[in-house]
Every structure is written in C-alpha cells, then in structure tokens.
Amino acid sequence: MAAGGTGQPSTGPGEKGEKGGARTALAGLTTRGRSFLAAGIAAAICAYVLGQPDLLRVGLLLAALPLICAAVVYRTRYRVAGSRRLSPARVPAGSEARVHLRMDNVSRLPTGLLMLQDRVPYVLGPRPRFVLDRVEAGGRREVSYRVRSDLRGRYPLGPLQLRLSDPFGMCELTRAFSTYDTLTVIPRVEPLPPVRLSGEAKGYGDGRLRALALAGEDDVIPRGYRYGDDLRRVHWRLTARYGELMVRREEQPQRSRCTVLLDTRGLAYQGAGPDSAFEWAVSGAASVLVHMLERGFSVRLLTDTGNSVPGEGSDGFAGASQESADAAGLMMDTLAVVDHSDGTGLSRAYDVLRGGNEGLLVAFLGDLDEEQAAVAAKMRQRSGGAVAFLLDGDSWAREPNGVPDPMNRQEERLRMLREAGWTALSVPRGASLNELWRQADRERAGVMTGSGTNGGEGWS
C-alpha cells in the first residue's frame, strides 16, 4: 500500500502455508464462534453422559460449524492492493484533512465480505472502519474519512488492516499492509496586515542594488560567454582585453532579510496544550514567516539553541521561487514538531546573530531574567530593525479573572529591550497577533518620527 498510488498486491489469508494454520484459524474465532464451539462440546459431553444420540448430533453440528467457517476463511486466498491519499498532507492545527482509501481486487476471483480498518492516533479521532461488500475480479472500492487535530505534530496513518469474515460471523482473520503515511499538522497561521515601520516597504529593497552577472547571484565578476547567453550582454572592452567573449554584469535588486527568533526554553513557559503560551509563540512565528515570505523577503527560522532553518545553504536564508517554497515547507515542518529545549539562555542564538547583518529581526520570547534580557538587548546591534513579542508569563499562568502579580517584572524587561532599540510588546493571555502587529507598527513609527530618522530596514 502506498500513498498517492496503488501499492504492491498483498496476498490474503492462507499465504503462509500450513505451518501453524490450525492455531491461526482458531485464534480468529469470534465470540460467536467460540460460543458455538463451547456449546457443541458441552452438548456432546451431556449426550454421552445421558446417552442421548440426538443431542450428540446437535452438539457435533454446533462444534463443527465454527471449525468449518474458520477453515474456509483461512483457506480463502485473495490478492488485493491498497492505496491511501491524503488531501492535504500538511494541514494547520484545527483544520480537517481527508484520507482517501482505495482497494483493488487484482485476483481472478471475487472477494467475500471485507472489513477495512485504518489505524490512526487517538488525537486524530476514532479509528475508521468500513464494510466492503463483494468486490468483483479486477474491481475496486473507494472510501474516505476525515481527521482533525488541535495539536500540531506529525502523525502516522496506518498500516491499513483488512479483515475477512465468514457469512455467519464465526471467524475473522486480519491481514495488514506494511506501509503507512504521515499527516503533518502545522501551527495555525494568522493573516497579518501589510504595515510599514520605516524606509523600505518591499522585500526587494528600493534603491539597494548590487552587481550581479547575468547567470545569477553566484557570479560576482565578469565571466566568459556561455552558450545561450544574450549577445547584448557581451562586454566588448573585456572581450578585447582577454581575447574571448566576456559577459558583463547587470544590476539586480537585493532581497531584504528577515530572521524570526523563537524562544523554546522549557523554563520560559508555563502550562501546556493548544491554548498555552508556547503554542501561541509557535503560531506567531509561523504567521510571521509566511507573511514575510509573501512580501518577498528572504527569511529564516532561528531558535534559542542556535539551530537555523534552512541550514547553511543560501547563506542560511530562504531564496527565491521554488527554493523559497521548499524552505517555507521545511520551516513549517520544523515548527510542527518543535518542542521545549533544555537550554537556560539565549547565548547560542546571539552567537549566530552577531555574525552579520540580519536585516529585520522578529523575536518571540518567553520569560526573561535580567541576564537573558541583557543578551536579547544586544541582539539588536546586528539587525536593521527589531521587534520583540515578550509573552507575559504571569498573565498566561493565572486564570483569566485572576489577580495580577504585584511583583511582575514584565515592564522592566520591556524597558531594557526598548532602550536597546527594540520595538518590544507585552503579550498577555489571549492576545491577537494581528493587533499586536499593528501596534508594533504604530510604536515604531512614533519612535522614528520622534528621533527624526527616516532610513533603516523596513518591514511590511
């Protein structure tokens, strides 16, 4: 059985030969079959004790019926092929996906009654079961069911199980296909409004050009002519100097960069479940990643452990077109399974960020002590713009109508980040990322107006 296509034909019961056949057949007896067998044996014993030959015949009939059914089911040989198709294979948390199952009878004999069952994790819903009536030779049957999960993750589906039963329901034998598929439940993505803090509003920075050869970004100096190059790009002066055709460079816009930092430290968050602070941070990071990719930015996902997605290729950032789409899928798959880390600080993430100009930095941070707040403040030095969403641990930990903690250190941490140049916002329980996104735009616009600065790295 394979996803998206027909798997290799699988042989039904009876393919393993006679060894252990009796044991396998008897193990497949249902409650009804065992009851008939027990009743037949009891009737035969009573007939022997009481000397009633008629009762003995009834007992033998009762005992023989389940045994005959078990033998018939075990000796039945069907060759069937199964396939499973997920639509879609990657779905946001809280949304439904449909699973399509298809069974093909590839033998020359029609099948009997088939019971089809697919194994799914309990978080996706009840285990689906289907009853397939007689399938003619070369025929097929298609069924489908829906799955839904409020928890992100990667969930295996399968293997698909096929149960064969006799018409009297005395015996059932189960055979399972060998392969399974995986449903990826990614975090919820909230659409964000296009806003502009300052300077550039597009992912391709206006006015920022760098020289690139016609063949692409890997060529940073004039190169020799290659078959298929436009002759209008030939650099005749260099051609005369080197004695061979040389292609001149052309100017192309440089893509603006955005790094999304996700704090995954276990000690920085309290609670668990779909409505916890950590899940809000993961969903927020996914929303910003998708939004910035749609705006044309080169983006990457960075965690407190220093791990970056995508990896070292393309300078650690998602590129253009197909490469960007692949990187977006990789980042969403990473967020689908991201969990709390055992780290206690943000120093590893800071070591990655201080290596170069990161463009726009958007951070989702949990509880920070004074030391980690200072480390986060230093991250602003290597970015063109920095926005921090600091989750209020006290607000998320207490009940919605609870009393605020008078020792709340949230304002002190926000002050440290703002003094370092961050646009820092507190995230209380139940906050909307859409509204916070607009608020960050307003606060940054006010800071830039007050300081009289019009340049810098913009976002949208």
Average pLDDT over residues 41-56: 92
* Range 322-328 contact pairs with CB under 8 angstroms and sequence separation of 24 or more: 324/293, 324/298, 327/299, 327/300, 328/289, 328/290, 328/293
Instruction: Provide the token pair at 306.
Output: 């220093």
Lowest mean pLDDT among 25-34, 200-209, 217-226: 200-209
Give the dihedral sign, CA 409/413/419/423: negative
> What is the residue-averaged pLDDT of the chain?
81
Give the span between the Cα atoms of 22 and 37, in whole angstroms.
15
The answer, yes or no, to whether residue 15 has pLDDT greater than 60, is no
Average pLDDT over residues 120-126: 91
pLDDT at residue 215, rounded to an integer: 36
Alpha-carbon radius of gyration of the chain: 33
Whole-structure pTM value = 0.76
pLDDT at residue 408, rounded to an integer: 63
Counts for the chain of helices (H) and strands (E), in that order: 11, 22
Indicate the angle between helix axes 410-419 and 370-379, nearest 10 degrees.
30
Give the span between the Cα atoms of 221 and 240, in whole angstroms.
17
The answer, yes or no, to whether residue 22 has pLDDT greater than 50, is yes
Give the span between the Cα atoms of 460 and 441, in whole angstroms.
9
Average pLDDT over residues 158-172: 86
The answer, yes or no, to whether residue 120 has pLDDT greater than 90, is yes
pLDDT at residue 108, rounded to an integer: 85
Instruction: Provide the token pair at 126.
Output: 């009840």
Closest-CA residue to 15 (of 58, 88, 78, 70): 78
The answer, yes or no, to whether residue 460 has pLDDT greater than 60, is no
What tens digit of pLDDT does each residue of 393-406 get? Answer: 888 876 655 555 54
pLDDT at residue 4, rounded to an integer: 39
Q: What is the DSSP letter of 255?
A: E
pLDDT at residue 74, rounded to an integer: 81
What tens digit of pLDDT does each residue of 61-73 get? Answer: 999 999 998 888 8
- DSSP codes of every residue in 183-228: EEEEPP---------SS--SSEEEEEEEEEETTBTT--S-EE--TT
As beta bridge partners, residue 247 has 223, 234
Instruction: Provide the token pair at 116.
Output: 């089809």
Length of the chain: 460
Average pLDDT over residues 431-453: 78
Contacts of 142 (CB under 8 A, 6+ apart): 100, 101, 102, 103
Instruction: Provide the token pair at 453.
Output: 């600065």
As beta bridge partners, residue 156 has 182
Give the span between the Cα atoms of 364 and 285, in whole angstroms.
7
3-state secondary structure of 412: helix
- Across 377-460, where does the E strand assignment appear? 385-391, 423-427
Give the span between the Cα atoms of 263 and 363, in whole angstroms.
8
pLDDT at residue 11, rounded to an integer: 40
Element (H, E) at 286: helix 277-294
Q: What is the DSSP letter of 256?
A: P
Q: What is the DSSP letter of 265?
A: B
